[in-house]
Structures are given as C-alpha cells and as structure tokens.
Amino acid sequence: GPAEVPGIDDGGLGLVLTATKVTIRADGTPHRIDVGAFACPPQLSFVAMPLRSPWVHLRARLVNTGAMPLLAGPVDLIMASGYVGRAEVGFVAVGEKFALGFGPESDVRVHRTETRERDDAGLLGGWNVQTTRVAVRLSNLGAQRREIVVTERIPISEVEQVEVQVAASDAFLLASDGEAITQVTARAMDERGLVSWSVELPPHGRRAVTLEYRVKSQRGVAGM
C-alpha cells in the first residue's frame, strides 16, 4: 500500500495557552501578553572557560517548576540592577533543569597562556610526544570575594595509537619560575576530559591554576 504519511499525533506536545483579557493599542507595534508565570530559586555561580572566553560569567542554574514546558526561543535577562540582555533557551520540560548566562563579571580578569613542546627523543621509538602546559591567572579588581569554577579541557583518545597522560596537579608550579602568586592545585576531572578547579578569589587578590598533559601518538597517525 501507499507509504503512511506522518500525522499530527505522531509525536510532539500539544499545549493550550489561555491569555488574560488585555487592551492592545492600535499603534502597529508588537505587545507582549502573559500566558503563565512561575518563580524558582536560582543557583548562582561564577564560571570561567578561558579556552573559549577571557571573561568570568555569572551562571544561573534553574528548574522549571511551572505547570507547563518552556518553549524554545529568546528570553530577556533582568537582575535587580535592571535589564542585562537577551539569551536563548531550548525546550525545557516541566521539572527539567536548565541554565542561563547573565553576562561577564567586570571586576575579574582572566589571563590564559599555553605552551607546547615536542620531545624529539620519542621519535627514536616511533612515537610523537608533545607536552602541553596551560596556566590560567585570575585577578579580582573588586572589593568582594568571588568563588569561581575554572574549567579546562584535555584531549580524549579513542584509539590505541594515541595516549594521553595527565601530569600530577602540582607538576607545573609557577613558583618554580619565581612568580609570586597563590596557586590552586585541587581539581576534578571527568570522563569527557573536563578539568575544573574551585578558586576562591579574595578582594583585590590573585590566584592561578595550571594544567600539564602529554600526548603520545605513533608516527603516521593523522592529525597529530
């Protein structure tokens, strides 16, 4: 027989939104109408991903505690100080967690450096060896203490011809080069290759985190 044509009941979610009665001026401009509202306490945190951005951002983790899903689209960001900007949110089911970014924290500066060094001695054994060292320095120009989650990424190997070795958390110390800065070494790593540090940054203070890892690949492996 003929192929079955997908119908309206083959998936998705149907919603009926009822708006309250309002008066709209005939001025040709768009007007917003409330069709629902809910309040939930946010979990606020400062996050930094120096590989992608030189800024520390304020992130809010939320839960949709409303009676209906949130449809994908733009959202306005408003804080006690006023309008912050606009962001995008995907479809959020009832009870689902989601996150919104509220822009950069102007009082905190982030500086990231990365060096790569090839070990020619490894070529004798048929391996290409490259050591990468990353240093992230944070400076607080404000008078308030900030706790910042700093995240870096290490490569993940899915083939036997490539090995990734992460050095100890204190293997790369900036003090060894005479730099006077407090370094945070406690860190966490997950299976996706994300390395994170929780850095307490005092008022007008400086802190740093470092990462060192080595990538060994057999000669002839493409992309290495």
Q: Does residue 158 belong to any structural domain of this protein? A: yes
Are both 95 and 118 inside the same structural domain?
no
Confidence (pTM): 0.76
Are both 120 and 212 inside the same structural domain?
yes
Residue that terminates a domain, selected from 59, 78, 104: 104
Q: Percent of the chain scored above 90 by pLDDT?
A: 56
Q: Does residue 94 belong to any structural domain of this protein? A: yes
Residue-number span of the structural domain to which 49 is assigned: 43-104
Number of domains in the chain: 2
pLDDT in tens, 94-116: 999 999 999 899 999 999 999 99
Are both 185 and 123 inside the same structural domain?
yes
Structure tokens at 89: 């949110």
What is the Cα–Cα distance from 50 to 65, expressed in whole angstroms?
33
Q: In what order do the strands lie in the sheet with 56-63?
A: 97-104, 56-63, 43-48, 146-153, 194-201, 188-189
For the chain, the maximum distance between any two Cα atoms, rounded to a whole number of angstroms, is 80
Q: Does residue 12 belong to any structural domain of this protein? A: no
Q: Does residue 7 belong to any structural domain of this protein? A: no
pLDDT of residue 11 exceeding 80: no
Q: Does residue 30 belong to any structural domain of this protein? A: no
Q: Does residue 32 belong to any structural domain of this protein? A: no
Q: Give me the pLDDT at residue 134, please.
A: 97
pLDDT of residue 214 exceeding 90: yes
For 148-174, the three-class secondary structure string (H helix, E strand, C coil) is EEEEEECCCCCCCCEEEEECCCCCCCH
